[in-house]
Structure 1
Amino acid sequence: MAMNLEDYFRTIHEEQVLIKLPVGERYLMTGATQMLEKRREIIEVDKQLKAHREEFELKRKSLRQRRDEVLMKEEKLKESLLNFDRFLKENDAKRSRGAKKAENERKVVLQKEAEIQRLKEECAALEEIKQKLQRRVQRSNLYWNFLEQVLKMAKFEEVWELLGRFETLLITREQLCQRESGVQEQADSQRGALQTYIDQQSCLLLQNNNLLSQLQTQLDQTCSEALTWESKWNHIQNTAAKETLLLGQIKMATLNLYQMTDGEIGGEEGVAIDDTEEQLDKIQIFIQNHTDIVKDIKPPPTDTTLD
């Protein structure tokens, strides 16, 4: 069908079929309540179906009468066309209008027949919905019987009192579950925060231990280097003392040699007592001069060979 039957049914009969339930902030629809409401819906649907059938029958009768009238008019029109065929050419405009009118009447009949078919399909769909609701009610009878047995065993006199008590217990249970869930979430959050704090402290302790180990290693290396440098410093001090003593002895020897060459100490022509290099230069000059003198006064070697 071009139109959804359930949507059509909902649009046409929404105000008559739907049953308004009490609305509350914590209202809960139970199985027994649904069963009661479905029974009331079936009764209302039956009423609507009866009214709809009556209306459908009236429309169908009207459409039949209209179709018969159209057929009669069509027959008369055919007869007129056959009897006055000779006037067709002269009355072409009238014939054209008559044909259009017949076509319009034929379209109206087709539309009415389509509407009849649509109404039949709607009735079939409503009948199917009714059967579904009846089957649903039959399936729900088990809960209704159980509810009646519970009502006999309980202290309540009416079903609505028992349902109200049950709904109150459900609401209380839901509140307790929500409260328990909130407490559990809070405990999980605190437990997670505690574990995070423990992990952070563990990481911090591990970092401090690593830093302490590095500092201890650096301290050991520094102490070892300090001992090495201290040993080198002692060796340097001992070596410097020996070198200083040897230098002093060399300077004293040089000064004695310089004095033995009749060299002057101090004054404008003399050499400073600490100028060891100048003194060595003077001693070198003295040795060279005396070496030349010795060469000059040395007798020539005698020839001991005999002819």
Structure 2
Amino acid sequence: RLLLERREVAALEQALQGQREDLGQRLERLAQRRRRLAQREEQLQDLILKFNAFLEAVVARQERAQERADKARAQAAERDAEVSHLRQELTELLRCRERLAQRLRSLRSFGEYLRAVLARLGRFQDVPAMVAHFEELAGMRALLAQREEARQEQVAQGWERLRRNQEEAGSELLRTKDELRQLRARLEAARQDVLPQESLRAHSQSAATQKTLVLGQIKLAVLNLFQAATTRLKIPVNVALEDTEAQLDMVLLCMQDLTATCAELRPGQLGPCPPRLPVATSHGGARVALSQE
């Protein structure tokens, strides 16, 4: 029985070993398949990357081709527009050429006339020189006309300023006349107010004039007495002609001296005499010397 069990165990071990080997082989095959799948996946990734790069390159080429096509279409449109513009310019130039040809045909008679004038004048070398001379004259005429117009404008402005100045002067004259009338009215009113004062001042001036005349007469009388006394008595004096007070003092001294002299010569006939003054006296810085006769 033990042997039988051992045999069963050995058979089981052999079966288990076979299963193990089979499982190892299967695992090995599975690992190989995994490695092949990984390689294929890597290959697929490379293919996908290459395909994406190819697609990007294709898209870029398409975009560049589209851009080139757009540029070509734009250039073609520009060339078409330029061609159309050039055709229009050519048409205009042809029309202008036709007009110039017609004008040349119409001006041919003028050219003949200018050549005839050139031959008749004989002062110019050719027609362009003559035309340039007359164009210069025309320019000078236009300049003179412009200057004359400017001068006329200045004259008009001057007349306008004169008119405004006259109006302003008239207005100022009217205002001045009004002010003058007002001032005259004020002057008349002031004159009416000042008239009593003027009459009073005239009376005062008249009284002062009379007093001045009287004072002048007094001064003249004193001067005459002074000159008569000093001349008669031969008294050397140093008194100014305007110093009336000194002259009057001198006359009084002379009178006192004469009175004293008379009293000495005729003591019985004269009444009491005033006291005799000194022979020499001074007045206002002027020294007077009296001589006794």
Larger radius of gyration: 2
TM range, normalised to the smaller chain?
Answer: 0.3 to 0.5
Superposition TM-score, scaled by structure 1 size = 0.35
Superposition TM-score, scaled by structure 2 size = 0.36
**Larger RCO (CA within 8 A; separation ≥ 6):** 1
